[in-house]
Amino acid sequence: MTLNAFGLMPPGLTWMKRNQLPRFWTGGVAKVISLALDFLFPPICLLCGSKDLYQAGCLICKDCFSSISFISHPVCVRCGKPFLTETTRNHVCGNCLTQEPSFNLVRALGRYEGALETIIHNFKYKQKFSMVNLFNFLLDNMQNHEITFASYDLLIPVPLHRSRLRQRGFNQSVILGNILKKKYQMSLQPKVLQRIVYTHPQVTLPVKARKINMRNAFKVKKSQSVEGKTILLLDDVYTTGATMNECARILKKSGASRVDGFVIARAV
């Protein structure tokens, strides 16, 4: 909805380009408009419609926010799996001890359950892009600070096969990558890693078949673009880690010096 819809834009400004408006509507004018919009359309939780927001302007209510299980220590030092023990020390989980992953470490914002699962499902399968506002807010509230985003040379989203990209219309990992790019001034490279094999959706396969499903499904477009680089892989959900692990293997095979991963949620 534009400012004209509220009759707030002076007639002489109708010719102004859209990118000029933020510079014009600043200071007291912007605050007045914001207050007017909040009065006419009170902000509500994007998930349940409640007006009892967790914080002013965060667009998630107290109950929905409380259902998010943020991941904090102790976790596996490699895959980031949270431990349900009283120890406060991080250590390597049994799976990573049995078979060392190709990535150096992966960390997740929270568990794939409750409101966080709903946010991802609405974003990924229902194309509710308003969920991006919640991702921004949740990043500010993450409790696991082992990843220093701005320290990486490249941010690379896990790619979709072109057929699935046409079907869905967008790559959720690229959109999340743009959030991190703007938030932490990172170098986003969405075309460096390519998915060259159309694979069955991982969620439809048993655990043992997922690794086979991902084998040789990716390639690096130009090895020179990743040689000696520290890379942060980005995906929405981590389940068994097969996708993240295969991407890391290919990137390191092409010369990357370190490959870490960050996901919004992980299955536990």
- Is residue 52 a part of any domain in this protein? no
Question: Is 240 in the same domain as 120?
Answer: yes
Question: Is 95 in the same domain as 27?
Answer: no
- Is residue 1 a part of any domain in this protein? yes
| Other beta carbons less than 10 A from residue 63's beta carbon | 14
Interatomic CA distance for residues 64 and 150, integer angstroms: 30
Task: Residue 228: name the closest of 197, 258, 261 by CA.
Answer: 258
- Is residue 57 a part of any domain in this protein? no
The pLDDT value recorded for residue 32 is: 57
The pLDDT value recorded for residue 248 is: 97
The pLDDT value recorded for residue 140 is: 86
Predicted TM-score (pTM) of the model is 0.80
Q: Tell me, what DSSP letter sits at residue 130?
A: T
The pLDDT value recorded for residue 167 is: 87
Tokens 């000029």 belong to: 20
The pLDDT value recorded for residue 238 is: 95
- Is residue 189 a part of any domain in this protein? yes
- Is residue 53 a part of any domain in this protein? no
Query: Which residues are CB-neighbours of 84 under 8 A, at least 6 positions away?
Result: none
**Mean pLDDT per 10-residue interval, the chain, length 268 residues:** 39 38 48 54 87 89 94 92 81 93 96 95 91 90 80 96 88 94 94 86 63 81 96 95 94 98 94
Question: Is 35 in the same domain as 72?
Answer: no
| Other beta carbons less than 10 A from residue 52's beta carbon | 11
Q: Sign of torsion, CA 225 226 228 234?
A: positive
- Is residue 55 a part of any domain in this protein? no
Question: Is 128 in the same domain as 259?
Answer: yes
Question: Is 36 in the same domain as 72?
Answer: no
Question: Is 260 in the same domain as 128?
Answer: yes
In terms of DSSP H, where are the helices of the chain? 21-24, 27-40, 62-66, 94-98, 114-125, 131-140, 162-168, 172-184, 207-214, 242-253
User: For position 251, which CATH number holds?
Assistant: 3.40.50
Number of domains within the chain: 2
The pLDDT value recorded for residue 253 is: 96
- Is residue 61 a part of any domain in this protein? no
Question: Is 234 in the same domain as 110?
Answer: yes
Question: Is 36 in the same domain as 95?
Answer: no
- The domain in which residue 196 lies consists of 68-266
The pLDDT value recorded for residue 87 is: 67
Q: What is the pLDDT of residues 63-115, one digit of tens each?
A: 999 999 999 889 999 999 999 876 678 999 999 999 999 999 999 999 999 99
